Amino acid sequence: MLSERGRSALIAILDNASLAQTFVGDLTVVAFTADRRTFYAVTRCLEIISEATLRLDQTLRDRHPHLPLRQIMSARNVYRHDYDNVLEAFV
Q: What is the pLDDT of residues 51-67, one digit of tens each?
A: 999 999 999 999 999 99
The total of structural domains in the chain comes to 1
Quick check: 69 pLDDT over 50?
yes
pLDDT given for residue 84 in this prediction: 64
> Is 34 domain-assigned?
yes
Count CB neighbours of 66 within 10 A.
Answer: 6
How far is the C-alpha of 66 from the C-alpha of 72, rounded, in Å?
13
Provide the Cα torsion 50, 51, 55, 61; round to 10°: 10
Domain that holds residue 63: 4-85
> Is 49 domain-assigned?
yes
